[in-house]
Amino acid sequence: MDANPNPLMSTGYDVVWIAFVACVVVLIAIALVSIRRNRQSLTSWQALIWGLVVIFVPIFGPAAWLFAGRPVRLPAATE
């Protein structure tokens, strides 16, 4: 007998994979928006390479950009 008799209801495995893929897509979108916002501090080649890395290396590309690739903004000096 089939464990899931109704083909319209997802199994737990399907739900987990759908949630995982949704998280990866959101992470990629956040990284691409961040690259777009920081394009003044990147050359066009750097932005292109980072964009390609983020898209073609789904989990590690966005994580690398968000943790290591973003330019460091120094706080403005106040007098």
Confidence class of residue 25 from pLDDT cuts 50, 70 and 90? Answer: very high
Residue 22's nearest CA partner among 69, 64, 58 is 58
Give CA–CA dist 35/48, Å, rounded.
9
The full set of domain ranges for the chain reads 12-67
What pTM did the predictor assign?
Answer: 0.74
Instruction: State the CB neighbour count (10 A cutoff) for residue 10.
Output: 13
Confidence class of residue 16 from pLDDT cuts 50, 70 and 90? Answer: confident
Q: For all residues of the chain together, what is the average pLDDT?
A: 84
Both structure tokens of 12:
């737990």
